[in-house]
């Protein structure tokens, strides 16, 4: 049998239940679009997916000084590659500032939230899941 096409839909299968005649009917699934607002970051092209399937790999934009965090829909729900396509959707990128490092002869500050002070040439600290080891060397 041929594979028919219909704009905005994906062909699923033929309905072969017999209705008194030997007629088959195409079963159609809508195709949905996810549109990305990179919120100041690099552009991401929209993607399409068949209804009921996961969106699959989503664009990861870049923005100088920031790391990509998540995609949010208009209701602030996180949309991931495993989110199911149930309709057209627009998502907006959320960003986290990348840490900046400031040093002096006895301290290291990683902004926004990690501070380590040293009383010897080697010090270490742990803040949340950010582990680091610093060795201060005099030149």
Identify whether residues 70 and 127 lie together within a single domain: no
Identify whether residues 54 and 70 lie together within a single domain: yes
Model pTM score: 0.65
Containing structural domain, residue 118: 100-135
Q: Is residue 2 part of a domain?
A: no
**Cα atoms in the 13 Å half-sphere on the side-chain side of 37:** 9
- Contact criterion met (CB below 8 Å) for 62 and 36: no
- C-alpha 24/C-alpha 3 separation (Å) is 12
CA-based end-to-end distance of the chain:
78
pLDDT tens-digit readout, 1-30 = 678 888 888 888 887 666 666 677 788 999
Token pair belonging to 52: 């009921």
- The domain total for the chain is 2
- C-alpha 108/C-alpha 117 separation (Å) is 6
pLDDT tens-digit readout, 84-129 = 999 999 999 999 998 877 777 666 666 655 444 455 555 544 444 4
The pLDDT of residue 115: 46
How does strand 78-79 pair with strand 130-135? Answer: unpaired
Token pair belonging to 88: 């057209």
């Amino acid at each position: 049998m041929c594979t028919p096409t219909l704009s905005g839909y994906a062909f699923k299968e033929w309905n072969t239940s017999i209705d008194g005649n030997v007629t088959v009917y195409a079963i159609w699934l809508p195709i949905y679009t996810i549109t990305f607002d990179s919120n100041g970051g690099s552009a991401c092209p929209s993607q399409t997916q068949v209804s009921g399937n996961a969106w699959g790999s989503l664009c990861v934009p870049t923005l100088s000084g920031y790391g990509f965090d998540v995609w949010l829909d208009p209701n602030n729900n996180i949309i991931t590659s495993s989110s199911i396509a149930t309709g057209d959707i627009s998502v907006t990128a959320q960003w986290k500032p990348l840490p900046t490092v400031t040093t002096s002869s006895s301290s290291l500050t990683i902004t926004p939230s990690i501070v380590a002070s040293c009383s010897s040439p080697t010090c270490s600290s742990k803040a949340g899941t950010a582990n680091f080891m610093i060795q201060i060397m005099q030149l």
